[in-house]
Amino acid sequence: MESEAQIIRTEYSDLMKKSYIDYAMSVIISRALPDVRDGLKPVQRRTLYDMYELGIRYDRPYRKCARIVGDTMGKYHPHGDSSIYEALVVMAQDFKKGQILVDGHGNFGSIEGDGAAAMRYTEARLTKFTQEVCLSDLDKNVIDLCSNFDETEKEPVVLPVRVPNLLVNGAEGIAVGMATSIPTHNLGEVIDAVKAYMKNDAISTKQLMKYVKGPDFPTGGIVVNKDDLLNIYETGQGKIKIRGKVEVEELKGGKKQLVITEIPYTMIGTGIGKFLNDVAGLVESKKTTDIVDISNQSSKEGIRIVLELKRGADAENLKNMLYKKTRLEDTFGVNMLAVADGRPETLGLKRIIEHHVDFQFELATRKYTTLLAKEKEKSEVQEGLIKACDVIDLIIEILRGSKSVKDARACLVNGVTDNIKFKSSISKKMAAMLRFTERQATAILEMRLYRLIGLEIEALQREHEETLKNIARYEDILNNYDSMAGVIMEELDHYKKEYGRKRRTQIENAEEAVFEEKKIEEQDVVFLMDRFGYAKTVDVSVYERNREAADSENRYVVHCLNTGRLCLFTDTGKMHQIKVLDLPYGKFRDKGIPVDNVSNYSSSEEQIVMVCDSEQMRFAHLLFATAQGMIKRVEGTEFQVSKRTIAGTKLQEGDTLIDVKVVSENQNVVLRTRNGYFLRFPASDVPVKKKAAVGVRGIRLQKKDELEQVYLFEEGAETKVSFGEREVTLNRLKLAKRDGTGTKAR
């Protein structure tokens, strides 16, 4: 009989909450965060273990990375090949890791951001460091193994790493709701700190920092906030300020050049290209005129970025400018988050070392327990063989008189003589007294005759003595804290001597970089913008010399200060601001640059209806007019804002702004429609409104007509304008009131 399907009803929000928490914890524990014990994320651990299992050792040939990635994915890490290969590449990059864990052969990327070649082209093998420090003693039951994803293989829960790899190689990872960022450290300093903790577990973080001075980045550089480090290492969180190393080189003829030989760790990758662009930007924007040339001369030998300076340039001030205005001084955010005891935890320096030392004692205990058991087995066998040599004639008689191995074994272990023929009753009595262990009996039965040679017996006795010494040593290590600590420290000394190197990053307290910008000399300039939207500024004298050409060739001509701002009003009612300094200043025939490049204005979406100087607007009113005939006056002070783009006016649906003009009370306004209706009235009739207001009706439009042009003129001044083939004199138009229909031009 078939069982009925069971429907489990549950609250959808509860199900989502549980599922999301499960997913988050899976990402945190099984992907993004390293384990405090070995400092490795699961993908790194699995890749290294797979290489170990494949036998790709440091003293054997390289193997294709595609083989390593495929094997790791098939056996241990079923999450796609790109994540495995990226992890493999990072472990082989000496500019990212304090100690590389993989020896790469081929293109594994560069410090300047070039990516590694495809895995079908590159090869790799384990480094000697990884093999000795991270993967030794796996055969001595030092760590637990767990089933892989499909339970067909066994993989290590953690690797038996003998140094605090979390500190030496650092870590970066983004999980769900949390991230880790641990800087790299000097191997020798970290080992000294571990030894100091083992000698005195009450040691403070401040005392530990006598050994660990601070981060030691593979790219070198200078840490400039030494006083903040104690708090960072106590809490596991904070910000480290790092600078690149800049040297001043003297050239012939009294010239100098700045040479950057070390970069901040955060500049690895595209940061170098961005830095070069930033320096070029400083030159183009005339923040400095002292840099003549920039060149990146970096090679395999190291970083070398050269900035050639003008004769007499202030090199120190320029150095400070680079620190202040570019990423040559940057911040490394520290968040020492790792998986400890199965859960994520933010750890200080002492807590990381504490976890590491506990792990080392656990490894040592398991290692020497395994070795002791093996030595005791060996001792048991050796004792049996030595004892057998003393009664070898009797044993030979037992073997010759036995019908089967089973009978011989029973006699050797329990003295059973029933099924064995002896030459004499004395032999039988002596055989009945034999009491070898099962292991000893097996060794005797498998013993070769050459072991009966006198010298071999002596060698066996010496081996037994050595075995007894080992047993005593292992028991002492297991039963005595100081003995075990001594063994661990001895190993650490060996690793320091073998793999230690000098510190690369300097640690100091440096003063804040102070850069004195040269004050720009204020001067009058003329802004010119042609009908294609290309803009520039020229000197007033240049404009005066070319006035006729400038006025005819350009759509907008505005007198302004080089330190000021220009306001662009567009048909959509927006106002965009431009710094005059952002525009190129030079010759009259220079092309200029599109205003789109220096503002939020987009020529594909909106059209400029007016450009005016921000300073001139301060003391004036602006007259706004729209295609639907709406007008208003707005005080210029309303547009004195710091934002690059604001709403200049409010428009009705389907309406567009057609003109903005600076207006005064004593002027007359003339509105002209597309169909030729003219309406003249005093500017004082236009009410002053806020910029967010729609305004009032300026002219009553006929059907299918719209406002097309706005004119201003002073009373008494004859002003003529063209409309079609006719000429209209504005001051002869009848003075009317606002909101009339106007008169049609005849």
**585: phi then psi, degrees, rounded to nearest 5:** -115, 125
Q: What is the pLDDT of residue 419?
A: 81
Helix axes 187-199, 349-390, angle to 10 degrees: 80
What whole-number distance in Å separates Cα of residue 713 and Cα of residue 483? Answer: 103
Six-digit token pair at 620? Answer: 């004036």
| Percentage of residues in the chain having pLDDT higher than 70 | 98
Q: Considering 76, 121, 474, 499, which one is annotated as catalytic? A: 121
Question: Which residues lie below 8 Å from residue 29, measured CB to CB, with a gap of 6+?
Answer: 339, 342, 343, 344
Across residues 65-76, what is the average pLDDT?
96
- Please determine, for residue 723, whether its predicted confidence score (pLDDT) is greater than 70: yes
What whole-number distance in Å separates Cα of residue 632 and Cα of residue 624? Answer: 5
Q: What is the pLDDT of residue 722?
A: 87
- Please determine, for residue 624, whether its predicted confidence score (pLDDT) is greater than 90: yes
- Please determine, for residue 414, whether its predicted confidence score (pLDDT) is greater than 90: no
Mean pLDDT check: name the lowest of 17-21, 90-94, 374-378, 657-661. Answer: 17-21
Q: What is the pLDDT of residue 372?
A: 95
Instruction: Quote the mean pLDDT of the chain.
Output: 90
Q: Which amino acid is at 566?
A: L
What whole-number distance in Å separates Cα of residue 272 and Cα of residue 740? Answer: 66
- Please determine, for residue 533, whether its predicted confidence score (pLDDT) is greater than 50: yes
- pLDDT digits 0-9 by tens, 271-289: 888 899 889 888 877 778 8
Query: Which is higher by pLDDT, 565 or 289?
Result: 565
- Please determine, for residue 3, whether its predicted confidence score (pLDDT) is greater than 70: no
Q: What is the pLDDT of residue 1?
A: 45
711 given a catalytic annotation: no
CATH fold of 40-160 = Topoisomerase II; domain 5 (3.90.199)
Helix, strand, or coil (residue 63):
strand
CATH fold of 245-327 = Gyrase A; domain 2 (3.30.1360)
**What CATH number does domain 364-498 carry, 2.60.120.10, 3.40.50.360, 1.10.3210.10, 1.10.268.10?**
1.10.268.10
Strands 608-613 and 565-570: antiparallel
Mean pLDDT check: name the lowest of 345-349, 453-457, 606-610. Answer: 453-457
Query: Which is higher by pLDDT, 703 or 229?
Result: 229
pTM: 0.74
What whole-number distance in Å separates Cα of residue 376 and Cα of residue 472? Answer: 10
Q: What is the pLDDT of residue 496?
A: 96
Per-residue confidence at 4, pLDDT binned at 50, 70, 90? Answer: low
Across residues 1-10, what is the average pLDDT?
70
Helices marked H in 301-422: 315-325, 349-390, 392-401, 405-414
Q: What are the sequence ranges of the domains in the chain? A: 40-160, 245-327, 364-498, 524-744
Per-residue confidence at 518, pLDDT binned at 50, 70, 90? Answer: low
Highest-confidence range of 252-256, 415-419, 739-743, by mean pLDDT?
Answer: 739-743
Across residues 141-150, what is the average pLDDT?
93
Across residues 575-592, what is the average pLDDT?
87
Check if 40-160 and 524-744 are the same fold: no
- DSSP annotation of 245: E
CATH number of 524-744: 2.120.10.90
Strands 256-262 and 291-296: unpaired
Q: Which amino acid is at 21?
A: I
Across residues 166-178, what is the average pLDDT?
92
- pLDDT digits 0-9 by tens, 393-404: 888 888 888 888
What whole-number distance in Å separates Cα of residue 547 and Cα of residue 527? Answer: 12
Distances in Å between the alpha carbon of 154 and those of 142, 157, 279?
15, 9, 54
